[in-house]
Structure 1
């Protein structure tokens, strides 16, 4: 005997681009019966080159606009930069439960063998006081290296829309670490976009280098948060997943097969 729910749970995933799809896929694998809304702010992309105030204002505007159309059970800020900069303010502004994504510092400390850890992220992420405090708290016994790059974010974004990834260009970005006598044996992918470059990055780093991220941890955490909501059988109409963007372009219109491949039935614009 089971209880029958008349409301399908709804999760909103937000990022500046397609990086958050890596988080979405992990969560959908654990929670397939939830309705997913995905918003990518292609007009504001990339956040790593924006001011902190811009990101906060942008996040508030996006969530406010979406709440005019949907009742949400959970919001996931699937962007390390936006989470670090804006999450605390978003929780003050909105009543809906909101979680963020952060670099897997504690996991890296557990996994490193040579005590040299690299954090690969946007320039905002790797320089932010929150990250420095996190490293100081959990990784005092480790040598922490920081490398910020907005170019990697753009490369990952372009890859998902069909561009070929230049290994030589990737190598030029990673040179500060690759030329070290003792390079990091554990590298934190501190941007959700970088998960789409994991194979290319793995090729460039020395054999045995561990590339880690927080996507599976986030998915497990979301599953626990949603347990009370999805612990009933949904009896209503199954709503389709929808992807939103902040500006419609010709490229977006030509990308429907890509969008459909991730389980979204349509692409729509949310005006703010």
Structure 2
């Protein structure tokens, strides 16, 4: 018999679509539920205590409602702060999203890497640990930007993304001492890959962007290996903790990712 339990993706907004997309490509028969905590958005400007309390409680409710076979926390901020708490609270596989510092270090020629995330993510000790373990011979420069999160949301709404605003954000990395040597940037927020092409176009010199989406897709495939999938998956569902006109306006972008049903939690 086929197993209709979904893979559930969770983010504060629509950034997790950059994680859902490679997973959907790798596992096209997987039923999908995408949850945006629009009521709590954005996480990057919230305190660690708020996120550590909110995310496990919310994912507990979601697990009860949707009975997922696996949960993906498609949010770097939530993962670096609340992943351990979620895993302790739930009895099912939980995949987190962490900054792709290891592959960035493997790619870098100049041995200077930029890490672009939210303010909450870039200050986490977890990032220190990743840099020490996988990029000890590199200079790792960091910059936190809440504005870039909003610009990614604007893009998915079909609003213009002014190039000059992207240049200002990137200057937070390239303008640091040694920033002129950056050749790889880690998109350490799942929103940011949605703007990778636009950022590459305004960067002061050629640079490659890397994120964790493809690796997470492979992890999902590994954890669900041997499991049954529906022959024809049901329509993907997007769930919002606050379903307002702004959320409903995302319907065309969500449909492009296979999420044709929209619901409120």
TM-score (norm 1): 0.91
Q: Is the CA contact (8 Å cut-off) linking 2:30 and 2:233 kept in structure 1? A: no
Relative distance call for 1:60 and 1:176 in structure 2 (3 A) is closer
Q: 1:159 offset after TM fit, Å? A: 1.1
Supply the distance in 2 between the matched residues of 1:93 and 1:52 (Cα, whole angstroms): 18
Aligned ranges for residues 167-182 of structure 1 at < 5 Å? 167-179=163-175, 182=180
Equivalent positions of 1:183-222 (< 5 A) are 183-222=181-220
Number of matched pairs? 263
Kindly state the Cα deviation for residue 245 of structure 1 after the two structures are TM-superposed: 0.2
Q: Is the 8 A contact 2:95 2:216 kept in 1?
A: no
Which stretch of structure 1 is more off in the superposition, 51-60 or 87-96?
Answer: 51-60
Is 1:241 equivalent to 2:236 in the alignment? yes
Unaligned runs of 5+ in 2: none
For the Cα contact (< 8 Å) 1:9–1:229, is it kept in 2?
no
User: Residues 162-190 of structure 1, C-alpha deviation per residue, up to 9 Å, x if partnerless?
Assistant: 11101111111222333466331111110
**Pairing partner for 1:258 from 248, 253, 256:** 253
Residue in structure 2 matched with residue 143 of structure 1 by the alignment: 139
8 Å Cα contact 2:156/2:250 also seen in 1: no
Change (3 A) 1:141 1:258: closer
Change in Cα spacing, 1:116 to 1:260, as seen in structure 2 (3 Å) is same
Residue number in structure 1 paired with 2:97: 101
CA distance in 2, matches of 1:107, 1:33: 28
Native 8 Å contact 1:115 1:143 kept in 2 = yes
C-alpha separation in 1, matches of 2:63 and 2:223: 20
Task: Please provide the CA RMSD for this pair.
Answer: 1.6
1:124 to 105, 120, 123: 120
Work out the CA distance in 1 between the residues paired with 2:198 and 2:260.
30
Distance 1:114 1:170 in 2: 23
SS at match of 1:229: coil
Tell me which of 13, 19, 39 is aligned to 1:17: 13
Report the CA distance shift for 1:174/1:10 in structure 2 as closer, same or farther (over 3 A): same
Confirm or deny: 8 A CA contact 2:110 2:181 kept in the other structure.
no
Structure number with bigger Rg: 1
TM-score of the superposed pair, with normalisation by structure 2: 0.94
Q: 1:213 to 1:7 in 2, by over 3 A?
A: same
Indicate conservation of the 8 Å contact 1:56/1:86, yes or no: yes
**Using the alignment, how far apart are the partners of 1:258 and 1:221 within structure 2?**
25
Equivalents in 2 of 1:229, 1:21: separation in Å?
23
Q: Distance in 2 between matches of 1:224 and 1:247?
A: 33
Q: Structure 1: how far apart are the matches of 2:156 and 2:66?
A: 28
Q: CA deviation at 1:72?
A: 1.1
Query: What does residue 7 of structure 1 align with?
Result: 3
- Equivalent residues of 1:12, 1:39 under 8 A apart: yes
Gaps in structure 1 of 5+ consecutive residues: none
